[in-house]
Chain A
């Protein structure tokens, strides 16, 4: 759930998503759900010539399972906060196991 929360904080940022089939799409992150399915608005496909079927697409829904990378604007990522949240999630996880 940590990354779900994290992506929620990134809504309305411009991100670039690389899919497992090497398509790279830049767009405004509009929404994310528990499977990390992503909705992008105002998309722009890098190397569009190779993917003509996307030439008339403006918004898209990407299934989380086919995403390879999400490239984020560096300025929008609070690494310290993310590290801390990760540790907290792990601690909660450990506590759950000990129970």
Chain B
């Protein structure tokens, strides 16, 4: 029962020296509503998903999904789970040294499928790395299909070998790109 008071306001009850020490270093961790001492903290509303996404709203972003798709569009709306609405979306497909753009339109993306959102530097967006060439999308799709098939067999082989040795594949065998 005595431990109950550990993170509450200092009670007049006598404490062990160890507990006293814990009270004196209260900079981190689940302190009570008002942390005592420690470095000054930034306002908590800065550390929410909403605050992070608010800065990115109405900007041109690269969205990378868990299945490896790269979408380029304007973020128009979102919620606390990072469910997103993208407008004027273009899917950019990469394969080997080629890439192609496919116009897609509006996307509503469920948050769990989001890998990352990158803000496009508008000064640099046209600086495509010189090794890449734009190609008709049929050609890129064809090449990508081959690449994906090759990676799939490679991954399967590796997982089978790992499993034979008693290892569980990372993220339950789901492949992230």
Contacts and interface: CB of A to CB of B under 8 A. Distances in A.
A19 B55 CA distance: 22
Contact of B119 (A34, A35, A60, A63): A60
Contacts, number: 140
B100 interface: no
A59 B41 contact: no
Contact of B121 (A1, A57, A95): A57
Interface in A1-43: 1-2, 4-6, 8-9, 11, 19-21, 31-35, 37, 39, 43
B116 A66 contact: yes
Interface in A67-82: 81-82
A54 B128 CA distance: 10
Contacts of A81: 25, 27-28
Given A20-B171, A34-B48, A95 B6 contact: yes
B141 interface: no
Contact of B132 (A6, A52, A82): A52
B111 A59 contact: no
Counting chain B residues whose Cβ lies within 8 A of the other chain, the interface size class is 35 or more
A9 B124 CA distance: 32
A57 B122 CA distance: 9
A33 B124 contact: no
Contacts of A85: 27-29
Interface in B102-123: 111-112, 114-121
Given A8-B41, A20-B171, A66 B176 contact: yes
Interface stretch (B9-17, B62-70, B142-150, B156-164): B62-70
Interface of A: 1-2, 4-6, 8-9, 11, 19-21, 31-35, 37, 39, 43, 48-49, 52-63, 65-66, 81-82, 84-89, 91-92, 94-95, 98-99
15 contacts: A31-B46, A32-B47, A34-B47, A39-B55, A43-B118, A53-B94, A56-B127, A58-B120, A58-B124, A59-B119, A63-B115, A66-B116, A82-B28, A84-B22, A99-B4
Interface of B: 1, 3-4, 6-7, 22, 25, 27-30, 39, 41-42, 46-49, 51-53, 55-56, 62, 64, 66, 70, 82, 92, 94, 99, 111-112, 114-121, 124-125, 127-129, 131-132, 170-171, 176-177
